[in-house]
Amino acid sequence: MGNAYIFSLTPTFTQGLVLGQLSILFLLVVILKYLFFDAVSDQPYKSFSYQPRIPREDEDVATARNEKELSQSDVVDGKTGVESADWLNILLHQVVDSYRSKLRDNLTGAEGDEVARKRIEAFANKMRPPGFFDPIKVHSVDLGVSAPRLSRARPGPLSTPLVDPQLEIDMKYTDTLSLSFSTSVLLNYPFPSFARLPISLTVSLDLFSSTILLTPPQPHSPHPTVTVTLPSPGSEFVLDLKTSSLMGSRAKLADVPKLHELITNQIRRAITEKGTWKVVLPYLASVQEVQEDVRRESEVTH
């Protein structure tokens, strides 16, 4: 009868090598599971002692800076057709401020901050993939005080007498915009919910610049819209983010470069894939009609 065991009391070299590898693997699993990961989640929102927060610039100083920017006229170059966009900057600043106010339910101070925080937290949890992340807890939100700065309005690359006119505008956006939140990444191997990797993260905008392409409505279109494309086809955009992060339960890894790279790449991809918006014109089209047009265009493209 053949032997029914794997290891003997006097193991061979191969058996010892296998045993050693298994011991190292077991030790590695124990270290990761109990030092960096959480095996169970005691509550829906797990709080962390560390909540990264990037200092917010004083609003009065930032507002004064933005007003100074708005007062500076862009250079008009008659030879190249580049024109000032100051009037559009004033309009855009008012539009952005209106959205900020509505997001805060027209409340100021800490009360308005809490309303905005709850709304963004609800949206984040609505969009998160449940099988990969625990519920997201948003700790703080800074909606900023500035607005994108537009300059160098000029004819688009396809603007000719035989083609519908287009307008290219350079955009630059710097602000105090930031978001601090925490969650846990679910590890589903070797079995579902094997462990959780707690993450605390703050993301803030340092600089976003791009060229925008504006396409006016087609007069003979059944549902005229203004199309905004960002970035303009053939151009690149700059996205500089600052991230502050902590990963792990008992032992913590701070400011992991790969995490910063991952977040930046995901945001860049989202901008590239969803960088076209159609603005519905009142009394000329409805949102449902334009959505149906976009669906048909997508079917034809694919």
142 touches 56 (CB < 8 A)? yes
Contact 207, 174 (CB under 8 A): yes
Query: Mapping DSSP to helix (H, G, I), strand (E, B) and coil, where does residue 129 land?
Result: coil
* Least confident range of 41-45, 188-192, 199-203: 41-45
- Grade residue 285 by pLDDT with cuts at 50, 70 and 90: confident
Q: Give the residue extent of every domain in the chain.
A: 86-301
**Contact indicator for 145, 173 with CB cutoff of 8 Å:** no
- Collapse the DSSP code of 39 into the 3-class scheme (helix H, G, I; strand E, B; otherwise coil) and give the result: coil
**What backbone torsions phi and psi does residue 143 show, to the nearest 5 degrees?**
-80, -5
Q: How far is CA 293 from the centre of its chain?
A: 27
C-beta atoms surrounding 67 within 10 Å:
10
| Two tokens, residue 181 | 């939140």
Distance of CA 35 to the CA centre of its chain: 30
CA 220, 221, 224, 225 torsion: positive or negative?
negative
Contact between 242 and 54 (Cβ < 8 Å): yes
Q: What is the pLDDT of residues 104-158, one digit of tens each?
A: 999 989 999 999 999 999 999 998 887 888 899 999 999 999 999 999 888 887 6
Residue 201 pairs in a beta bridge with: 245
pLDDT tens-place string over residues 219-276: 788 888 888 898 888 888 999 999 999 888 766 788 888 889 989 999 999 888 888 8
188 or 77: which leads in pLDDT: 188
- What count of other Cβ atoms lies within 10 Å of the Cβ of residue 131? 9
Is 230 in a helix, a strand, or coil?
coil
- For the chain, the average pLDDT equals 77
Q: In which residue are the tokens 């909540």 written?
A: 51
Q: Is the pLDDT of residue 213 over 60?
A: yes
